[in-house]
Amino acid sequence: MENTGLSLVTVVLFLPMIGFLILLFLREQTQLQTIKYVTLGTSLITFVASLLLWAALDINNPALQMVQRIDWLPQYGISFYVGVDGLSLLLVVLSTFITVIATLASFRTHALEERGRQKLYYLFMLLLEWAMIGVFVVQDMIIFFIFWEITLVPMYFMIGIWGSERRVYAAVKFFLYTMAGSLLMLLAILYVGTAAGTFALPEITAMIQNGTLSFPFDGLFSPQSFLFLGFFIAFAVKVPMWPLHSWLPDAHVQAPTAGSIILAGVLLKMGTYGMLRFCLPMFPEASVAWAPVVGVLAVIGIIYGAWVSYAQTDMKKLVAYSSVSHMGFIVLGIFALNAQGISGSILQMVNHGVSTGGLFLIVGMLYERRHTKEMAAFGGIWTALPVLGGLALLISLSSMGLPGLNGFVGEFTILMGTLGSQSLGFVFALFATTGVILAAVYMLYFYQRVFMGELDKEENRQIEKLHWSEYAALVPLVVAIILIGIQPFIFFQPMDASVGQLVTQMQPFVTSVVQLVP
Amino acid sequence: MENYPVLVPLIILIPSIGAFINLFWGARLSEKWVGSIGTIASGLAFLVAVLLFVYLSGSNYQSVVIDPPLLDGWIRLPSGGVEIPWQMRVDTLSVTMMLVVTGVGSLIHVYSMGYMHGDPQFHRFFAYLNMFLAFMLVLVTGNNLLMLFVGWEGVGLCSFLLIGFWYGKAKGVGWKNSNAARKAFIVNRIGDFGVLMAMFLTFWTFGTLDFYKPGEIANPGLASHAEVEGGQAEVAAAEAGDAEHAAASGEPVFTDNEHIVTSQLGIFSQAKRLIDEQRTVSFGSLTLPIGTVLTLITLFMLLGATGKSAQIPLFVWLPDAMAGPTPVSALIHAATMVTAGVYLMVRSNVFFHYAEFTSLVVTLIGASTAIVAGFIAIGQWDIKKVLAYSTVSQLGFMVAAVGVGAYGAAMFHLVTHAFFKALLFLGSGSVIHGMEHGHHHAAHAHNHGDEHHAEEEEFDPQDMRNMGGLRHRMPVTYWTYLIGTLALAGIFPFAGFWSKDEILADSWLAGIVDGNVSGYIAFGVLLLAAGFTAFYMWRQVSLVFLGQPRTEAARHAPESVPSMTIPLVVLAVLSVAAGFFNVPTGALGLENVFGAHRFTFWLEQSVEYAHAGTFQWVIALGALVVALGAMYLADGIYRRRGLDEQQRDPLYVGGGTRPLWRLSNARLYWDETYSRLFEQPFNRTAKFLGDTVDWAFLHDYVHDTVIYKGFNAIGDLLARPIDLGLIDGAVNGLGRLTQAISAGLRRVQSGYVRVYALSLLLGVVLVIIVLLLPLLGRG
């Protein structure tokens, strides 16, 4: 299994760093265009490479593939250990895809020209891409933790330097919340790694499977539960789950457009991915036992996020709270602990990245033109910008889960999984499904206030048409939205074997623990 | 001819192409081109439907399942046993719907070329109309619940787009239109919630969402299927083999329900089997007997139907939907989309057949909607609002018919209603058009050279108080409208007479034969509602066409162009003829001319419990007397007496009926009640959650007081020893870098910043320590 040759995964992981190195040698004053295109080119090449990864994946094999492992610190059981499987592949592709979109979105961002230091900005962009891919492909818990922390740094500066008025406050808050959560995770990682004698996750899961390693479990408050919570809380902050979401609206409102797109598109998924990758396989009993609690929080998040979203007047805040609602669906699906729920969740991570990324993109375009995010400043934009109006409608519909578009497939499978789940069940599905109604309420209100009604404001009448780079950023999103909506099995296919294996591993615990915990 | 069914994907594809062309290139094409593309697309779809009809008639009604090319599956999760394909179904029920949708749709396309003439968004209108057809056809051709749902929400979207078609109109009208559009979408979403829940339950009960698997016979009890019974046996055998195979290979079983994953039968056949075997079904930790499950599923479906088919309690969106252009009201909000709920229930007739409690609820909802909406229609002044409430009321008839088990009668009424209600709406559009032109003409003549002033004057071309005497000015519209009215009122021999009579007779029989109390209730309530129908329709005809013109506009209203009047004539012919599709036995010997129960027989091939009713002389005569009596009453009040000088309704002026008329005119305060009960509390809660709970408490208080202050304390504790002692020198460089980059930090209060900067530093240090671990290890 261990492979010393260069794995495609390693290539994909380090491609952004090549662009990063090239950028270092360019001068901002004279070669700004080159800097932009090198970044775009690097992100495009990385995206294509990640598609090759998809093509190379054996979809019938549930195990980790294209593995590369280099011993780094053998006496501590730490190694550079990368690989992909069905759980992570789509997220790698999502990261590289969203980076392309975010780069395109940066080309027209006013704040960049205003505040300067554009080279630094694009350096951060590629650094961020590297770190995001790292989080999804690394299999060693220590290195995972390092990548997890590294993602914070570029995002911190992106918000802090190129954000809106209260950018520093938001950047620090973003950093602190995630940091605070991850400290618990670090403790848990150290504990597990010491107990197992290795930090390599596949080895640890294998030990748990064959019984050579187990963390004592006898209820909601037992050692395994504490380890579970150590990981879970770090991930829940990142997701963010209700009631730990209070950093999200600040970060989103203050971040530049590209920052919001990456934050919503990829960084939040690191949380849900972590639950799937770490919590479930390492702490199966605790996952089952805590599932109803997590489920309740997720359902509250779904309803609360949607309801609060409806009360907003700021477009970015509205979309930010809608993320709380959507991420609630994803967490719910994971803790349904069956194939429907988990597959739906993985797909929904992609869907949310695409749809919410698209919404932030559109809000950003409007902001660049009118320098306000207040919905009241708009109205009738559909008349002024018919193409943008049409695309915005499509993306809004995808976000509220219109069948035939991507969001629906994810929500549908998640909710179906929830209803048939032994850990959750009918009541959870009943309440969570009301989120579908609420999504229409806030999304249509947003759409109506901005795009419908009379075009009565002079500034809006003379609003600038779309630039090519803006089309170039929107169109791939729309293609993805329709493709996933009509042919989702293309996206379910690569994850199916891995999900099946995970569910089969969980099944005995589901049966035994559900009886144990009243 | 055997190959005709492979054409069925075209019926969706062609309108989609039409929509696509008009949406992207329509702005550059002339009206003629745009209109022709839209209409031809719709006409070709109708042609496909006719071919499918020919196929079914010539092949012993054998239904076919078609996998559309190119689309390779849909939601497929082998690990979860989910397999939901894109799959289309050609059977008598779906072809009936296809014929109605594309037939009426094509006529309305032709009509729209005249009606929408001159609109700057002409191409968008036709694109939406074609898109609507495509989605509606997805709805009726889908072979599984999920595909039905795609169409279901898709038509909802088109409805949203078309209600809000004039979203940009000045003076707040555009805002009102878009409000109506949004309301329609959201209210329908509440219904969709029900359909979703029904689907989840269906999946975990049967392991599939397919109505029938390929090769399966929908109605095995029919004699005409005797020769294909073998096929059924084969399917059963295949299933048995498959189950063995699954057991042998040790495939995982995903729930306690053994039949999941392995069954080769669709949901309806399985339902019958599970009922026979009295099985229980498990959903996670919940275990229920199959009867209860079916009741739950059907109740959730009913919720969906009350949304789409505008029944109590979710009917409130339909009257507002009249904000859309009139052809839209005719096509979507009268003839086709709003019948989707009825279609869903008829399609699922097997479920409803076994769910007695649900059937009772369905009957009560249908009957009460019929009477409530009929009552409200009496007090409306807007010509389209009357028709809107009338539609709600007629949909109530269909729903009630489903409730008493008269699935055939429900579908029959659906078809005839599609014809005469589309006719009436298009007629009203013609009237509105005429009134607008008449108003322009009159204003022009009176205010020569001062047109601006005339436009500012408030004039509502839809208010019936402004009309009167239009029969002379608009003869074609008048005569066709009259036919539509008689058909809707249920006068012999127009179409509505036959279909309404079948519903009444079936409810009566449900009471007498099956001892079903809801049958009596339905019969009594619906009979009264039929009286209301005749009354408000004759009131409308009297106010619009009879008597003398009450305004200059009415005096000058011209007849509409042929592209608008020809569809009226065609629909008028259908409104007469459609009734003879399904003449019952024993009705004046007419069955010898037209054949008895032809429609029911046709439908029975795919709707198992669509049974033929019998003709009851007493009921038919009674209903006729009620309708004629109501019309006579309305004639006396509205034609002979008419409105008074202040243009008030005689029922209002006439003392005793004033409170009732007021109640009707105010629509029973239904919207106001909803607003107070649901909308306002919802908005207030949103505000409270958003501003107080989330922002003031969670965001500001918890963050500033609990987290920040707590962190501050820890920070102070740690700051001294660590900062001064351990890493002072080592980190100075890093600290300077951080300071340099976050120059903006200083603008925030300094104490806050210090702690934050420190914690940031701590984070960086932590990362570096971890990075340096290898060195430490080696050393």
Render pLDDT for B731-742 as a digit per residue (tens, 0 to 9): 455 555 555 555
Of A338, A429, A437, the CB nearest to B80: A338
Q: What is the pLDDT of residue B742?
A: 54
Q: Which of residues 136-175 of B touch A (CB under 8 A)?
A: 146, 149-150, 152-154, 157, 160, 164, 167-172, 174-175
Which residue did the predictor score with more confidence, B457 or B146?
B146
- A403/B154 CB distance under 8 A: yes
Banded model confidence at residue B281, pLDDT cuts 50, 70, 90:
confident
Q: Does B284 touch chain A (CB under 8 A)?
A: yes
Query: Within B116-220, where are the H helices?
Result: 122-141, 145-163, 173-206
Banded model confidence at residue A176, pLDDT cuts 50, 70, 90:
confident
User: Using a CB-CB distance cutoff of 8 angstroms, which residues of chain B are in contact with residue A487?
Assistant: 71-74
User: Using a CB-CB distance cutoff of 8 angstroms, which residues of chain A are in contact with residue B696?
Assistant: none
Our CA-based measurement puts residue A421 at a distance from the nearest CA of chain B, in whole angstroms, of: 5
- B178/A452 CB distance under 8 A: yes
**B231 pLDDT higher than 60:** no
Average pLDDT over residues B191-219: 90
Chosen for mutation from B74, B76, B196 (greatest number of chain A CBs closer than 10 Å) is: B196
Chosen for mutation from A308, A335, A436, A438 (greatest number of chain B CBs closer than 10 Å) is: A308
Which residue did the predictor score with more confidence, A52 or B616?
A52
Pair A381, A451: CB distance under 8 Å: yes
Our CA-based measurement puts residue B767 at a distance from the nearest CA of chain A, in whole angstroms, of: 7
Residue from A439, A422, A444 nearest A511 by CA: A422
Q: Does B72 touch chain A (CB under 8 A)?
A: yes
Q: How many whole angstroms separate alpha carbon B86 and alpha carbon A489?
A: 12
**A101 pLDDT higher than 80:** yes
Length of chain A in terms of residues written: 518
Of B690, B699, B774, the CB nearest to A73: B774
Q: What is the pLDDT of residue B236?
A: 44
Backbone phi and psi for residue B218, each to the nearest 5 degrees, phi listed first: -70, -40
Residue A81 pairs in a beta bridge with A69
Pair B631, B538: CB distance under 8 Å: yes
Pair B465, B381: CB distance under 8 Å: yes
Of A175, A380, A422, the CB nearest to B760: A175
Our CA-based measurement puts residue A397 at a distance from the nearest CA of chain B, in whole angstroms, of: 9
The predicted complex's ipTM stands at 0.94
DSSP state of B668: G
Q: What is the pLDDT of residue B262?
A: 46
Q: Which of residues 82-111 of B touch A (CB under 8 A)?
A: 82
Provide the mean pLDDT of chain B: 84
Q: What is the pLDDT of residue A171?
A: 83
Our CA-based measurement puts residue B722 at a distance from the nearest CA of chain A, in whole angstroms, of: 18
Pair B159, A409: CB distance under 8 Å: no
Q: How many whole angstroms separate alpha carbon A380 and alpha carbon B13?
A: 32
Structural element, H or E, at residue A459: helix A458-461
Q: How many whole angstroms separate alpha carbon B604 and alpha carbon B63?
A: 12
Q: What is the pLDDT of residue B357?
A: 93
User: Using a CB-CB distance cutoff of 8 angstroms, which residues of chain B are in contact with residue A434?
Assistant: 193
What tokens does B103 get? Answer: 């037939």
Tokens 């929080």 -> residue: A297
Cite the beta strand spans of B452-493 per DSSP E: none
How confident is the model over A378-424, as pLDDT tens digits?
A: 988 999 999 999 999 999 999 999 999 999 999 999 999 999 988 88
Q: How many whole angstroms separate alpha carbon A510 and alpha carbon A337?
A: 8
Q: What is the pLDDT of residue B761?
A: 63
Q: What is the pLDDT of residue B114?
A: 92
Query: Within A239-338, where are the H helices?
Result: 247-254, 257-262, 268-274, 280-282, 284-310, 315-334
How confident is the model over A17-55, as pLDDT tens digits?
A: 999 999 988 888 888 889 999 999 999 999 999 999 999
Taking the alpha carbons of A430, A432, A437, A441 in that order, is the dihedral positive or negative? positive
In angstroms, the Cα distances linking A154 to A259, A261, B574 are: 10, 14, 70
Pair A240, A164: CB distance under 8 Å: no
CB count in 10 Å sphere of residue B306: 25
**B380 pLDDT higher than 60:** yes
Least confident segment among A105-119, A392-406, B333-347: A105-119
- B75/A488 CB distance under 8 A: yes
Least confident segment among A130-144, B246-260, B342-356, B571-585: B246-260
Taking the alpha carbons of B696, B697, B701, B704 in that order, is the dihedral positive or negative? negative
- B82/A340 CB distance under 8 A: yes
- B760/A156 CB distance under 8 A: yes
Our CA-based measurement puts residue A168 at a distance from the nearest CA of chain B, in whole angstroms, of: 6
Of B73, B79, B168, the CB nearest to A455: B168
How confident is the model over B650-703, as pLDDT tens digits?
A: 888 877 888 899 999 999 999 999 999 999 999 999 999 998 898 888 888 887
Residue type at A53 in one-letter notation:
L
Which residue did the predictor score with more confidence, B723 or B7?
B7
What tokens does B145 get? Answer: 């619940």
Banded model confidence at residue B771, pLDDT cuts 50, 70, 90:
low
Question: Searching chain B, which residue's CA lies closest to the CA of residue A435?
Answer: B193
Of A75, A176, A340, the CB nearest to B759: A176
Least confident segment among A214-228, B418-432, B756-770: B756-770
Question: Searching chain A, which residue's CA lies closest to the CA of residue B168?
Answer: A454
Query: Within B208-289, where are the H helices?
Result: 229-249, 267-277
What tokens does B762 get? Answer: 């701590």
Banded model confidence at residue A221, pLDDT cuts 50, 70, 90:
confident
The helix-helix angle for B356-378 and B383-403 (nearest 10°) equals 160
- A453/B168 CB distance under 8 A: yes
CB count in 10 Å sphere of residue B49: 27
User: Using a CB-CB distance cutoff of 8 angstroms, which residues of chain A are in contact with residue B691?
Assistant: 311
Question: Searching chain B, which residue's CA lies closest to the CA of residue A250?
Answer: B699
**B250 pLDDT higher than 50:** no
Domains of chain B, by residue range, sit at: 727-779
Q: How many whole angstroms separate alpha carbon B652 and alpha carbon B662?
A: 7
Average pLDDT over residues B156-181: 92
User: Based on the number of CB atoms within 10 Å of its own CB, is B17 exposed (0-12), middle (13-18) or buried (19 or more)?
Assistant: middle
DSSP B348-395: THHHHHH-HHHHHHHHHHHHHHHHHHHHHHHT--BHHHHHHHHHHHHH
Length of chain B in terms of residues written: 779
Q: What is the pLDDT of residue A73?
A: 81
What tokens does A150 get? Answer: 């590294």
Q: How far is CA A171 from the centre of its chain?
A: 18
Banded model confidence at residue B447, pLDDT cuts 50, 70, 90:
low
What tokens does B271 get? Answer: 């339902």
- What does the buried/exposed string (b/e) look like for A31-66 if buried means 16 or more CB atoms within 10 Å of the residue's CB? ebeebbebbbebbbbbbebbeebbeebebeebebbb
Our CA-based measurement puts residue A164 at a distance from the nearest CA of chain B, in whole angstroms, of: 12
CB pairs under 8 A between A and B: 234
User: Using a CB-CB distance cutoff of 8 angstroms, which residues of chain B are in contact with residue A80?
Assistant: none
Question: Searching chain A, which residue's CA lies closest to the CA of residue B746?
Answer: A168
User: Using a CB-CB distance cutoff of 8 angstroms, which residues of chain B are in contact with residue A168?
Assistant: 742, 744-745, 747-748, 753
Residue from B720, B723, B709 nearest B762 by CA: B723
Structural element, H or E, at residue B77: strand B75-77
Average pLDDT over residues B312-331: 93
Of B149, B284, B685, the CB nearest to A426: B284
- B200/A416 CB distance under 8 A: yes
How confident is the model over A266-322, as pLDDT tens digits?
A: 999 999 999 999 999 999 989 999 999 999 999 999 999 999 999 999 999 999 999
**B209 pLDDT higher than 50:** yes
- A308/B690 CB distance under 8 A: yes
Chosen for mutation from A318, A483, A492, A499 (greatest number of chain B CBs closer than 10 Å) is: A492
Our CA-based measurement puts residue B168 at a distance from the nearest CA of chain A, in whole angstroms, of: 4
Residue from B397, B324, B389, B387 nearest B366 by CA: B397
